[in-house]
Amino acid sequence: MGQKREQTIEVEFTEADKECLVRLVKELVAKGAEGDKGDFKAWLKATQKGAMKTKLDPAKHEWSTLSDFVLHLVAGKGEGKWAPVARRHLGWSRWAQRRDEWTRWQNDQNEHERPKTGPWSLVGRTASHANYEEQYAKLPSYNEHWARSKKQRPPRWCQEKGTPPEMLGVDCEMCETDQDPRALVGVSVVNEKGIVLLKTLVKPPGKIVDYKTTITGLTAKDFKGITTTLADVQAKLREFVKPQTILVGHGLVHDLRALKFDHLPVIDTAMLFSYKNLPRSTPGLADLCKRLLDESMRAEGTHDSVEDAKMALELAKWEAKNGPTGELEPPEHKVDPKDLVKLFVHRIPRGTDVDDIKGMFSKVNGTIGVDHVGSIVAVKGKFLGPKTKKDPASKAMTSAYVEFESVEKCNMAFKSLRGANGTDALGLPQKSVKMVVGSEAKKPEKEKKKPTAKPTASNGDSGLPDDLSKMTVVKLKEELKSRGLDLKGLKADLVARLQAAIGTGDGGGFSSPDDDNSDSDAPLASLAPKETMTVMVRKMAAHEGRAIGTKDKSAKDVASPGKRKPVDGEKPKRKVGRPSRRARLAAKGIIEEPK
């Protein structure tokens, strides 16, 4: 069903429309839709019984309940406002059902009838990728401001009609606005002959927060006098795209989401190639063009959407003729020596305090045995610090680089971090680390009075004050256990031994509980459960300055270069037992060697 025809559809639902109704009600709630009986929450209280009155998740209600709510809105005062929204979702649902029928018909095609070369073969390879269904078959074109191509047909239909495929290369420029973290600011469309059909800058809705100048090369000056809107670009695309049109791009799904344009069939060149031993890694367009086409890209350093659209199209044409290409060897370029002294920290919230990032490398919060904060030269990130503006629609997460005095200190800091070892998509070592959030980062609006724990054997026998909460005692014991200290027989000297284990010098306010002048709140405050969040810390190179894995090593071997199988004739080294935790802590001077 076309998007124009869907505005005349009658608003009525059946049991098969449950998924459509859930999406529709969620949008209506987000838009603050109200009828004669109020919003969705008030309507439930007025019409439902028992526990269903308080269940605000539309998915937990029967389709008939959701249908009644929508019809109640459409039939009331909001008919002119909410009926188009209901028709948009209903129209998309009918269109999606029709497209699913075409897809099933396409999948029933006999294997010997399916093309093994040419553009249609690449369409089939893209559709068989593990991520295709999630990325391309579920584009949210039921949302407002989205557009769909006029007539979508599968490759089998075009083959039977004798209609040859037409490929169009597409690439977009994106920026960040206060309404959209990946807003469209530029688009280029190129045909198979290399002719540029469309190249324009786009004025995004809202205020531009980040032009991504280092990537796009665009600045505020480039947008003076620009009046082209997203709707204008969508209208142009609908003119270019026909049933036999194949949209081609590298990571095309990101371009389609920026364009808010839904079309099939597609060829995603990022889904056609892969690296050996790096299943999660996506080969870059520049690397593929250099290897397969012997063409260099981005000589000027910045992203050019016309060049990217052309090269993705050329890559698809080459693969259609010469493919399928097997797994490629990972590139072996060296990392800049200046970057070897850095650790990459990502998945951190915008506005994170620099001291919190440094705190991960302190002995108290994050590292094992040695404090590495003193060897940190700088922490560099674009959206760090409490002054960072946090727009509701902008990205919630950011990243930063932690620079150390030397490569050795950088490697030691990474090795000392507490956290689960792993590798990223390129096989680079990384750790999942708990970052302690400072007290100034998030303050509760009102401090609740904590209940005091009753005297128990756990706090009475240890020489601690009786008003300690159970959580504090558990936290204290965990700290002692992590430092290798005994838990039994520690009474008045417990806090003193904890002071020595943590290495606080004069204790920073720690004192014996038996001291009449001691302030027990000081040590308890430092031992209270701290607010933490999980972030990822990654090295810039796997080993010897290499960016990613080598030819004869898997990603796992690259992450642990010291582990290897013995060569023929070589005797395996005898395994030496690892010292106990207590012995290791004693060797580092954290605790005293037992006599």
Is pLDDT at 528 greater than 60 in this prediction? no
Angle between helices 18-30 and 63-75 in degrees, nearest 10? 50
**β-pairing, 245-249 with 166-177?**
parallel
d(CA 360, CA 558): 25
Is pLDDT at 271 greater than 60 in this prediction? yes
Residue with tokens 């039994």: 488
pLDDT tens-place string over residues 313-329: 999 999 999 988 988 88
Instruction: Give the rounded percent of residues in the chain with a pLDDT score beyond 90.
Output: 36
Q: How many CA atoms lie within 13 A of 584 on its CB side?
A: 11
pLDDT tens-place string over residues 425-454: 777 888 888 888 874 433 334 444 444 444
Is pLDDT at 587 greater than 90 in this prediction? no
**Span 344-367, mean pLDDT?**
83
pLDDT at 462 (0 to 100): 44
Is pLDDT at 275 greater than 80 in this prediction? yes
Of the listed ranges 113-127, 152-166, 394-408, the least confidently predicted one is 394-408
Residue 536 · residue 346 · CB < 8 Å: yes
Q: What is the mean pLDDT of the chain?
A: 79
**Span 172-193, mean pLDDT?**
91
Instruction: Report H helices in 323-399.
Output: 354-359
Is pLDDT at 508 greater than 50 in this prediction? no
DSSP-derived letter for residue 277 is T
pLDDT at 407 (0 to 100): 87
pLDDT tens-place string over residues 468-481: 444 455 566 666 66
pLDDT at 559 (0 to 100): 39
pLDDT at 450 (0 to 100): 47
Q: What confidence tier does 45 reach under pLDDT thresholds 50, 70, 90?
A: very high
- Cross-strand pairs, 343: 402, 539
**Span 212-221, mean pLDDT?**
85
Residue 504 vs residue 236, higher pLDDT: 236
Q: What confidence tier does 300 reach under pLDDT thresholds 50, 70, 90?
A: low
Residue 280 vs residue 91, higher pLDDT: 91
Residue 68 vs residue 575, higher pLDDT: 68
Residue 384 · residue 400 · CB < 8 Å: yes
Is pLDDT at 40 greater than 80 in this prediction? yes
d(CA 118, CA 50): 61
| CA-only gyration radius of the chain, Å | 31
pLDDT tens-place string over residues 540-571: 776 544 444 433 333 344 334 445 555 555 66
d(CA 192, CA 44): 56
> Looking at the whole model, is its pTM more than 0.85?
no
Strand ranges for 350-395 from DSSP E:
376-380
d(CA 220, CA 449): 52
pLDDT at 520 (0 to 100): 44
d(CA 581, CA 483): 9
Is pLDDT at 36 greater than 70 in this prediction? yes
- Cross-strand pairs, 517: none
Q: Strand, helix or coil at 37?
A: coil
pLDDT at 510 (0 to 100): 40
pLDDT at 439 (0 to 100): 40
CA distances from 402 to 359, 369, 380 (A): 12, 20, 7
CATH tag for 114-322 (out of 2.160.10.10, 3.30.420.10, 3.20.20.70, 3.60.15.10): 3.30.420.10
Q: Which two tokens stand for residue 512?
A: 């014996």
Q: How many CB atoms neighbour CB 338 within 10 A? A: 9
Residue 272 · residue 325 · CB < 8 Å: yes
Residue 128 · residue 205 · CB < 8 Å: no
d(CA 358, CA 366): 9
Is pLDDT at 192 greater than 50 in this prediction? yes
Q: What confidence tier does 335 reach under pLDDT thresholds 50, 70, 90?
A: low
Closest CA to 245 of 194, 320, 316, 169: 169
d(CA 451, CA 77): 52
* Sequence-separated (6 or more) residues with CB below 8 Å from residue 406: 341, 375
178-182, 421-425, 481-485: which is most confident:
178-182
pLDDT tens-place string over residues 477-507: 666 666 555 555 544 455 555 555 544 444 3
Domain with CATH 3.30.420.10 in the chain: 114-322
Closest CA to 64 of 52, 81, 54, 76: 52
